Amino acid sequence: MFVLRNGLVHSETGLLHEHGVLIDQGRITAIRPLSAFSPDLPAYDLQGQHLSAGFIDLQLNGCGGVMFNAAQTQETLAVMQEANLKSGTTSFLPTLITSPDADMRCAIEATRDYMQAHPTEVLGLHLEGPYTNVIRKGIHPADQIRRPTEEMIDYLCQNALWIAKITLAPEQNDLDHIRRLSEAGILVAIGHSAANYEQAIAGFNAGIRFATHLYNAMTPTLNGREPGIVGAIYDRQDIYAGIIVDGHHVHPANVRLAHRILGERLCLVTDATAPAGAPEGFDHFDFCGTTVFYRHGQCVDKNGTLGGSALTMIEGVQNLVQQVGIPLEEALRMASLYPARAMGRANDLGSIAEGKVANLVIFDDAFNVTATLVHGTYQEHR
């Protein structure tokens, strides 16, 4: 049992000054004025720094110099988590892009084993593909994009406890498959899709409730006659969306527009790859057989196609505040509470509130992460 003292507490009810947060057995057990806590209690002095719920990244291909596609193992997930903590991410969805069935099965097994040992770190696997549209493939390998078999749909539904999210193109899939995946408890997302408005809405009606990297790899609003996927998302009240705020994937004006329309359904994601949090000098990596170069803050192949990002969540929060103009309180919610809600985990994660798991981040005014807590375990990152 210990108290976090003298921090700017970004709680579920708003910013609190001169309050302490009591942590006991991995959970937040009290949020009170400092005077309410005995001076004899063990404490960490935050020295005026910010205390927020830990960030939840719903799309993470790799970081810390590794890629989940390259090795679907618990060891890879451990390296990713270690890199995550240095940028304030305490929970994430490891993301496997378009792959053979054998790799998908390995990824599910590795995720299952890691989740059982670390239940609030990895919240489940994100399968980004292979059931997408080659027209909007981005850097995904075209020869692996395919339609699902009945056997694989059965297998995915049977393993829904370990699969948090599946990104697919509704126009390339049987709507009954979408319905079955959703009913099994998997968050089905639209992405890497060339659907028109009607096809997107049909997918939403079948159970799609998320949009993967809004604006990227999806049909835009072309004109007044064709709203596209983006218009379909904006026309609904039940779709969450992830957005990459690295200054390369989406223009700040479009981030502001998305936030104005979606509000509490817009989640910051990184779509990060190996260079995020990697040692200095890391300049290229393999992404499913394609060499991706890390240059001038971007991850691109030889043709200039974006291959994920090098963004961290704390950098995304900083960009939301400094480039987009979103208040810090809201930027933090986009990185923590809204992702938790999208995943149905807001009962125990995503905000500083009594009874919730103590997954927390501490950072200074310059957006440097100085410490994190995962299940109440305090770790410095100076």
Q: Where are the domains of the chain?
A: 2-51+356-380, 54-342
Take residue 251 and report the two structure tokens written for it: 């223009």
What pLDDT does residue 279 have? 83
Please name every residue paired with 127 in a beta bridge, in sequence order, or none if there are none.
96, 166
What pLDDT does residue 346 have? 98
How far is it, in rounded angstroms, from Cα 172 to Cα 219? 14
Name all contacts of 145-149 with Cβ < 8 Å and 24+ positions apart. 145/98, 147/172, 147/173, 148/173, 148/177
- State how far the alpha carbon of 200 is from the alpha carbons of 103, 206, 351, in Å: 28, 10, 32
What pLDDT does residue 382 have? 74
Taking residue 226's Cβ as centre, other Cβ atoms within 10 Å add up to 12
Per-residue b or e along 233-244, where b marks 16 or more CB atoms closer than 10 Å to that residue's CB: bbebeebbbbbb
Fold of the domain spanning 54-342: TIM Barrel (3.20.20)
What pLDDT does residue 307 have? 83
Q: Is the dihedral of CA 207, 270, 348, 233 positive or negative?
A: negative
**Among all residues, which ones are annotated catalytic?**
271
CA angle 262, 160, 209 (to 5 degrees): 15
- By the 10 Å C-beta count (0-12 exposed, 13-18 middle, 19+ buried), 47 is classed as exposed
Tell me whether strands 210-211 and 187-190 are parallel, antiparallel or unpaired.
parallel
Q: What is the mean pLDDT of each run of 10 residues along the chain (382 residues)?
A: 97 94 98 95 97 98 96 98 98 98 98 96 98 96 97 98 98 98 98 98 98 98 96 98 97 98 98 91 85 87 87 98 98 98 98 98 98 98 84
Q: Is the dihedral of CA 134, 138, 141, 147 positive or negative?
A: negative
What pLDDT does residue 358 have? 98
Query: Which amino acid is it at 333?
Result: R
What pLDDT does residue 143 have? 96
How far is it, in rounded angstroms, from Cα 298 to Cα 307? 8
53 close to 268: Cβ distance less than 8 angstroms: no
Q: Model-level pTM greater than 0.85?
A: yes
How far is it, in rounded angstroms, from Cα 283 to Cα 299? 9
What pLDDT does residue 284 have? 87
- Write down how long the chain is: 382
Take residue 42 and report the two structure tokens written for it: 């063990």
380 close to 371: Cβ distance less than 8 angstroms: yes
Please name every residue paired with 361 in a beta bridge, in sequence order, or none if there are none.
52, 372
Take residue 190 and report the two structure tokens written for it: 């639209």
Fold of the domain spanning 2-51+356-380: Urease, subunit C; domain 1 (2.30.40)
Query: Which amino acid is it at 118?
Result: H
